[in-house]
Amino acid sequence: MSNVIIIAGGRVIDPASGVDGVRTVLLRDGKVAEVAERVAQVPGATVIDAAGRWVTPGFIDLHVHLREPGQEYKETVATGARAAVAGGFTSIVCMPNTTPVNDTLAVTELILARAAAAGLARVYPCGCISKGSKGEELAEYGELKAGGCVALSDDGKPVMSSALMRRALEYAQAFKLPLTVHEEDLALVGKGVMHEGASSTRLGLKGIPGQAEEVMVLRDIALAELTGGRLHIAHASSAGTVRAVREAKRRGLPVTAEVTPHHLSLTDEDVAASGYSTDFKMSPPLRSRADVAACVEGLADGTLDCIATDHAPHSPVEKEVEFDAALNGIVGLETAFPVCLALVKAGQLTERRLIEALTSSPARAFGLPGGRLAPGDPADLAILDPGAEWLCSAGSLHSKSTNSPWKKRRLTGRCTHAIVGGRLVHEGGKET
């Protein structure tokens, strides 16, 4: 007896297969079996009526913080994976800045064991670039790769040593692991807590210029050219970064980049308007309107490959404090789709490009399975209601933390079903 799900009547948007139209999708034994205008009935199949909805490959997020091990009061692998599927993400890459950091097989294995027990999204660990994320010695990439790590990062911190970065880009090639890098020149960041500009001046907060990111992006592009290593720029936020990546790609260098929903939609002016709300504090910071426009343009033209949330849960202990003292980061898995859908409605992004940037583009950047709905592909899907209106609140979010700049705001667009490996792992989105 085979396990069959039929998704009928929805608009299938699958950029990697070039499909955009009403189709019926038949999933069998954890794989996509058929995507066609008409599909023969299968007795005993579960049928999901997707009329009026979008049916897409499950979203893939290359940048998530799950906080386990060490900070389970903010998020666990299970709660993070729950938030992921609620947001339409069927695969997530979790950053290694846990406590302890993921620079050893034991931590990688723990994360994978917790993810398997949760049985929700597919969780792909990212290992450390350097031992202890201290920026001094290389971590054991061979062991991390064997354990299941799909990328390397010292996320949260830049690799300040150019020499170490060079060796990391070289050594990682033996394992075909991309380096996903948090780009900030710490000397230029100083004690900065938000983007430098008229808003930081008005608030009297220390500013961080976009160039703090750009100088490191330019350095690492130069090192990628030197080494041939695979460089992925995490959370691009400045116009200069977009320009540098565009130029690097034009020259054929092995560089990819991601951008977050918040860097596509919010600016430093929103920090000022929020009255020092720490839900608007993250690294890199929300930048100027011109930077946001450059990021949107970069995403639309493919310079920035994909959308990644940088989902960074924190509790009120870290957030209900002075802006200077608050930790960086916001939750993002459950708001990514509606926030980015607003760009489509504003005419800044096509539907096809939006879905591509959430599915096949991230899959390609890290060489992950999924991101496409061709026969034989993993049965990882999201069903989305682009018209659903809902209130973002502690009650409607599945994450353990609620540090979101969209809290108490109404959003339009929501995931109604998520399927991972042919199993329905999320059904909801009805509550408003």
- Please give the residues from 59 up to 88 whose contact with another protein meets the rule CB under 8 A: none
Catalytically annotated residue among 103, 310, 377, 380: 310
- Please give the residues from 309 up to 338 whose contact with another protein meets the rule CB under 8 A: 320-325
Least distance to another protein from the beta carbon of 256, Å?
A: 31
Spatial CB neighbours of 312, under 8 Å, sequence gap ≥ 6 = 65, 282, 328, 329, 330, 331, 332, 403
Contact between 197 and another protein by CB under 8 A: the answer reads yes
Least distance to another protein from the beta carbon of 199, Å?
A: 8
Least distance to another protein from the beta carbon of 323, Å?
A: 5
The whole-angstrom distance between residue 160's C-alpha and the CA centroid of its chain comes to 24
Least distance to another protein from the beta carbon of 201, Å?
A: 4
Total residues in contact with another protein, by rule CB under 8 A:
22
Among 113, 116, 146, 198, binds another protein (CB under 8 A): 198
Build a one-symbol-per-residue string for 238-277: x at contacts with another protein by CB under 8 A, - elsewhere: -------------------------------------xx-
Closest by Cα among 424, 367, 100 to 230: 367
Stretch of 5-13, 108-116, 168-176, 200-208 contacting another protein, by CB under 8 A: 200-208
CB-nearer residue toward another protein: 196 or 213: 196
CB-nearer residue toward another protein: 155 or 291: 291
Among 126, 205, 306, 384, binds another protein (CB under 8 A): 205
Closest by Cα among 33, 87, 44 to 64: 87
Stretch of 174-182, 192-200, 298-306, 416-424 contacting another protein, by CB under 8 A: 192-200
Least distance to another protein from the beta carbon of 276, Å?
A: 3
Catalytic: 301?
A: no
Contact between 408 and another protein by CB under 8 A: the answer reads no
Stretch of 16-24, 113-121, 164-172, 197-205 contacting another protein, by CB under 8 A: 197-205
CB-nearer residue toward another protein: 87 or 284: 284
Contact between 211 and another protein by CB under 8 A: the answer reads no
Stretch of 66-74, 204-212, 249-257, 305-313 contacting another protein, by CB under 8 A: 204-212
End-to-end distance of the chain based on CA atoms, in angstroms?
38
Spatial CB neighbours of 347, under 8 Å, sequence gap ≥ 6 = none
Contact between 175 and another protein by CB under 8 A: the answer reads no
Contact between 119 and another protein by CB under 8 A: the answer reads no
Least distance to another protein from the beta carbon of 402, Å?
A: 16
Among 2, 46, 161, 201, binds another protein (CB under 8 A): 201
Closest by Cα among 257, 250, 239 to 308: 257
Stretch of 2-10, 100-108, 206-214, 242-250 contacting another protein, by CB under 8 A: 206-214
Least distance to another protein from the beta carbon of 104, Å?
A: 32
Spatial CB neighbours of 19, under 8 Å, sequence gap ≥ 6 = 12, 13, 35, 373
Contact between 196 and another protein by CB under 8 A: the answer reads yes
Least distance to another protein from the beta carbon of 275, Å?
A: 6
Contact between 202 and another protein by CB under 8 A: the answer reads yes
Catalogue the active-site residues.
Answer: 310
Q: Which residues bind another protein (CB under 8 A)?
A: 190, 196-207, 209, 275-276, 320-325
